A and B are shown apart, each in its own frame.
Chain A
Amino acid sequence: MSVVGILPNPASGKDIRRLVAAGASVDNLEKVKIVRRVLAGLAATGVEQVLLMPDWFDIGRRALEGLRLPFPVTVLEMPLSFTQEDTALAARLMRERRARCLVTVGGDGTNRAAAKESGDVPLLPISTGTNNVFPTPVEGTLAGVAAGLVACGHVAPDACLLRARRLEVEREGRLLDIALVDVAVCTDRSTGARAVWDTSTVSEVIIADVRPGVIGLSSLGAALGDSGRPPGAGLRARLGPGPYRALVPLLPGVIQWVEVASSEPLEVGAAVALDPRWGVLALDGEREVLLTPDTHLTVRLSAEGPWVVDVPAALGAASRAGHFRKPADTGETGGRGP
């Protein structure tokens, strides 16, 4: 059965980066419209069931108002904690109900939470956050079509699925948490307003995937160049006075020169020990875990992160297979489409 899950995050797009940078504001009513677009896209693909994550603003139910859809939609029955745990729990429940694609509507944090429980079910991330690396801006309708194509098996997985990396934060050999983009150690003494917005408070950063064209701390990787770094390796950099300065687009509208004391490649499968100190650990740009000098953590770069739908690739594969056309003389008005 072709089942798709949709996980809208009611909390994304509202944090301090609107105040300290030129971050965009995203109201939950806009997320309602995004989910409506996704549902419209899914309706064009033959999907047989859609599962929605509940949330305090009822984004899912609001999106359904007045819609006539060719598949049943179920809002999951689950307790809400009003934290990122809701996204993780919904991802687990959807995986257990055999969802074949999970559409996330949020930012890096939303996807990090979903990826904790999504297993091998591919994610299709729609960005509503501020400076996201993992999810990219994608039109909801197209995302819905792509998710439906994947869930229905209309496109081959190897044509449109990519496997992301993940950073595994371990304490005494046990997995403590994960990040999809970067892990940073900040000198702040609290989680504060969560988002990392001042590089002067960052003492070191581990980057999963060094690539240009991204915003946030992970942009440091590409800024430092490839000198001596094996192809495909991640990066660990300590910030502070040293041999390099790197120009980092940290936030929307904020570009900072960052002093880099040292950097070293991080091969897939390898782990590094974080420098113990008072501070706070930031995962994918959000301060999450308080650290003390007794907190000994390692970060491992794993190639086994979540599978991710490449929307243009999925749509392209379906186009080439003739999925979106049919002879004009059939007299039908729908076909697989709406």
Chain B
Amino acid sequence: MTLTRERAIDMYRTAWTIRLFEERMAEVYLEGKRPAFDIGSGPVPGEMHLSAGQEPVAVGVCAHLRADDTVVGTHRAHHFAIAKGVDLRRMAAEIFGKVTGLGRGKGGHMHLFDPATRFSCSGIVGASLPPACGAALAAKKRGTDSVAVAFFGEGAANQGSFHESLNLAGLWKLPVVFVCEDNAWAISVPKGKSTAVADNSVRAAGYGMPGVRIADNDLLAVYEAAGAAVERARRGEGPSFLEVETYRFFGHFQGDPEVYRPPDEVARLKARDPLPRFAEQLLRQGLVTPQDLDAARGEAARAVEDAIAFARESPYPDPADALLHVFA
């Protein structure tokens, strides 16, 4: 699959925007929550699930999507939103609970909705699959070649919604790509303790669709496989399933003591950080220059700081509006 210089730089910038946004958010989130951790205090109250390390899944898949394609993400969804092109300022503002946010500050970080880019997510495990099937059914009924992508974790693959959605998508040949992020941990439950098969990708065969597993969080491997899956969907050949082995650098949520994790696991995963590996591949192939990559990373850093500043400076919703825009 051809990768142009422009596309490569764009993907690198997006990956670093995600990484820097998440690292910045980890700092911001702790403001006002020390010395005793108080989940309700500080500028970003509530739970926080960060996706650093999982950039290849979002970037490799969303690089193939258009504005009219739908993405439904998970409770850990910042990387998907950024890769789909959601406005970073409005996303940050939503996370800060500000009126300039995607949902006027009433949704928070697990409920990012953006009609402009057809992006949504949910805090409910396994809730991404049915709406993605719905969007795919809509595209099929309308006769367009739009596709939908459902992202979910390997833990969600044991939910009923997973099996129901794959069944309908297989039956109706919906233009949907199911992307399972296998970060090995369903909160604190390892995959081997919850899943009867080694690879969820083989479950796809039971629903009449091809399933592929991509090992080692390899961004360019995801990019190639996702390209094939998206093109299949656009051609009307039905759904596909990708399971991507990915790495969760942070805990399940910020403040997670992670006592369930082997002490050296994060260090081991960070030694396989997908972003430097991506850069190395691009450089070794002469596709980009170090200056290209530095410039892209600089742009990402500026965009993140701009978005955080915008969120900080934005006003909170008027308490009088508390009951407005609550119901669809």
Contacts and interface: CB of A to CB of B under 8 A. Distances in A.
Interface of A: 10-11, 14-16, 18-20, 23, 25-29, 57, 82-83, 188-194, 198, 278, 290, 292
B164 to A, nearest CB: 21
A19 B240 contact: yes
A14 B212 CA distance: 5
Contacts of B229: 19
28 contacts: A14-B212, A15-B212, A15-B213, A16-B225, A18-B211, A18-B212, A19-B212, A19-B225, A20-B228, A23-B210, A25-B205, A25-B210, A27-B198, A27-B202, A82-B215, A83-B216, A189-B3, A190-B3, A191-B220, A191-B281, A192-B1, A192-B220, A192-B223, A193-B224, A198-B1, A290-B281, A290-B284, A290-B285
Given A25-B202, A27-B202, A82-B215, 15 more contacts: A11-B213, A14-B201, A16-B212, A18-B210, A18-B212, A19-B228, A20-B228, A28-B199, A29-B198, A189-B282, A189-B285, A189-B287, A190-B3, A192-B221, A194-B221
Given A192-B223, A292-B284, A27 B197 contact: yes
Contacts of A27: 197-199, 202
Nearest to A24: B205
Interface residues of B, number: 32
A23 B210 CA distance: 9
B204 interface: yes
B214 interface: yes
A254 to B, nearest CB: 12
B286 interface: yes
Nearest to A28: B198
Q: Give 6 closest A-B pairs by Cβ, nearest first.
A: A28-B198, A27-B202, A14-B213, A192-B224, A189-B285, A193-B224
Contact of A193 (B3, B201, B202, B225): B225
B232 interface: yes
Given A16-B225, A19-B225, A19-B229, A190 B212 contact: no
Nearest to B210: A18
A190 B204 CA distance: 27
Contacts of A11: 213, 215
Contacts of A190: 3, 220, 281, 285
Contacts of A26: 202
A10 B215 CA distance: 11
B241 to A, nearest CB: 9
Given A25-B204, A193-B214, A16 B198 contact: no
Contacts of A290: 281, 284-285
Nearest to A11: B215
A188 B225 CA distance: 14
Interface in B46-103: none
B289 to A, nearest CB: 14
Contact of B201 (A20, A25, A198, A292): A25
A258 to B, nearest CB: 18
A292 B215 CA distance: 25
A117 to B, nearest CB: 22
Contacts of A28: 197-199
B199 A292 contact: no
A10 B285 CA distance: 30
Contact of B224 (A14, A16, A25, A292): A16
Most buried by B among A11, A193, A194, A290: A193
Most buried by A among B214, B216, B224, B232: B224
A11 B199 CA distance: 10
Contacts of B224: 16, 192-193
Contacts of A189: 3, 282, 285-287
Interface in B224-244: 224-225, 228-229, 232, 240
Contacts of B287: 189
A82 B211 CA distance: 21
Contact of B221 (A20, A25, A191): A191
Contacts of B284: 290, 292
Contacts of B197: 27-29
A279 B225 CA distance: 19
A262 to B, nearest CB: 25
Nearest to A188: B1
Contacts of A25: 201-202, 204-205, 210-211
B198 A292 contact: no
A26 B215 CA distance: 15
Interface in B108-136: none
A193 B221 contact: yes
A185 to B, nearest CB: 14
